């Protein structure tokens, strides 16, 4: 059973004429990792923001389970059901890494008492030590900010994780570690993981690889596992 079903999704930015997405259909299942590939400007981030419920498509529909994203409370959907790792991090730069994660957990209404401890553990998993965790995001490197963004996306334990170039700013070792975490989330915790990537390593680790071209999405193949 698919957790996300896209049927004939089309999208066009306000004030532009060309459809960035022109009739995309796909199904995403829990327990699987998906890689989405495509040229720069092909619309990968746009698709992810629709899946993330940051905007709604003009034509077609995106179903979460059986319900149309257009019709449900998308704030609650973003807060609880989905974790987004943004290409440009989207962290609150004047706050510390820990504060970013705890705030996100608060927004998601995470009930755990010791949110800070959970946040430190998560950050440690993505390679951010306690000293850096207490630093303002502004004073972290691009790769470090990337990892804070990953930790934040996982902090409220969502069913769906979407990641926009999560390893784009990382060295090989860290890339491997992050990839490992994401794949394990699918395999061991039955999450639905969707990763937009240019990296061969990432796409070969995924269960399914899809390509976007000229507003359409097509199946490329299964990963090389």
Partner 1 sequence: MYIIKNAVKNIGRNKGRNSLMAIIVFAIILTTAVSIIINTTTAAIITDYKERFGAEVSINAAFDKLQTQEGVRNYKELTPQQQIEFGESDLLQSTNLSASMEISPRNLSALSESEMDDLINDFLSGATRADGTKNPETVPIKGQIIATDSPEENSDFESGTRKITSGEMYKNLNECMVSEQYASLNNISVGDIIEVDSYYENEPMTHSLTVTGIYMDNTMLGSKPDELLPIENRNNEILTSFETVVSMEIFEEYGKVSAQYFLKDPTLLSAFEKELREKGLADYYEVTTDEAGYQKIVGPVEGLAKVTNTFLIVVLILGALILILLSTLAIRERKYEIGVLRAMGMKKWKVALGLLTEMFVITGVCLCLGLGVGMVVSQPVADSLLANQIELIQESNTDGGVPASGGTGVGEAVFTSSNEEPLSEIQVDLSLNAIFQIVLIAFSLAGIASVAGILRTTKYEPIKILMDRN
Ligand X SMILES: Nc1ncnc2c1ncn2[C@@H]1O[C@H](COP(=O)(O)OP(=O)(O)OP(=O)(O)O)[C@@H](O)[C@H]1O
**Contact footprint for ligand X (CB under 6 A):** 13, 16, 20, 38, 40-46, 87
Distance CA 126, CA 147 (A): 6
N residues, the chain: 225
Instruction: Please provide the DSSP assignment of 95-111 as one string.
Output: SBHHHHHHHHHHHTT--
Select the span of 83-91, 107-115, 179-187, 201-209 touching Mg ion (CB under 5 A): 83-91
Residue 46 CA, chain-centre distance (Å), reads 12
Greatest Cα pair distance, the chain, in angstroms, is: 49
Task: Please say which residue, 114 or 172, places its beta carbon nearer to partner 1.
Answer: 114
16 binds, among ligand X, partner 1, Mg ion, none (CB under 5 to 8 A by kind): ligand X
Distance CA 115, CA 56 (A): 32
Select the span of 42-50, 118-126, 197-205, 210-218 touching Mg ion (CB under 5 A): 42-50
| Residue 189: CB minimum distance to ligand X, A | 27
Judged by the rule CB under 8 A, the positions of this chain that interact with partner 1 are 13-14, 49, 52, 54-55, 75-80, 84, 86, 88, 90-92, 94-95, 99, 103-104, 106-108, 152
Distance CA 59, CA 197 (A): 26
Task: Please say which residue, 43 or 83, places its beta carbon nearer to ligand X.
Answer: 43
Structure tokens at 74: 């998308």
| Residue 109: CB minimum distance to partner 1, A | 9
Q: According to the binding rule CB under 5 A, does residue 45 interact with Mg ion?
A: yes
Task: Please say which residue, 31 or 168, places its beta carbon nearer to ligand X.
Answer: 168
173 binds, among partner 1, ligand X, Mg ion, none (CB under 5 to 8 A by kind): none
Closest residue by Cα to residue 86 from 137, 38, 125, 49: 49
Distance CA 206, CA 6 (A): 19
38 binds, among partner 1, Mg ion, ligand X, none (CB under 5 to 8 A by kind): ligand X
Task: Say if CB 24 and CB 216 are below 8 A apart.
Answer: yes
Print the binding letters for residues 186-225 with Mg ion: x by CB under 5 A, - otherwise.
----------------------------------------
Distance CA 86, CA 91 (A): 9
Task: Please say which residue, 85 or 178, places its beta carbon nearer to partner 1.
Answer: 85
Residue with tokens 């179903």: 63
Q: Site size for Mg ion, by CB under 5 A?
A: 2
| Residue 44: CB minimum distance to Mg ion, A | 5
Task: Say if CB 82 and CB 158 are below 8 A apart.
Answer: yes
């Amino acid at each position: 059973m698919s957790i996300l079903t896209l049927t004939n999704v089309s999208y066009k930015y306000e004030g532009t004429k060309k459809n960035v997405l022109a009739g995309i259909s796909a199904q995403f299942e829990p327990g699987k990792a998906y890689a989405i590939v495509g040229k720069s400007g092909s619309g990968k981030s746009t698709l992810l923001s629709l899946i993330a419920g940051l905007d709604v498509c003009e034509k077609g529909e995106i179903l979460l389970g059986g319900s149309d994203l257009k019709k449900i409370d998308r704030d609650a959907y973003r807060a609880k059901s989905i974790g987004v790792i943004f290409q440009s991090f989207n962290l609150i730069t004047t706050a510390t890494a820990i504060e970013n994660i705890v705030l996100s957990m608060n927004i998601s209404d995470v009930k755990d008492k010791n949110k800070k401890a959970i946040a430190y553990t998560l950050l440690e998993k993505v390679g951010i030590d306690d000293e850096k965790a207490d630093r303002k995001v502004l004073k972290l490197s691009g790769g470090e900010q990337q990892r804070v963004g990953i930790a934040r996306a996982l902090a409220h334990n969502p069913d769906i994780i979407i990641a926009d170039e999560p390893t784009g700013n990382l060295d090989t070792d860290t890339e491997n570690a992050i990839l490992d975490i994401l794949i394990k989330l699918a395999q061991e915790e039955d999450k639905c993981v969707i990763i937009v990537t240019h990296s061969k390593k990432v796409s070969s680790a995924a269960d399914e690889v899809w390509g976007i071209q000229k507003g359409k999405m097509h199946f490329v193949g299964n990963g090389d596992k």
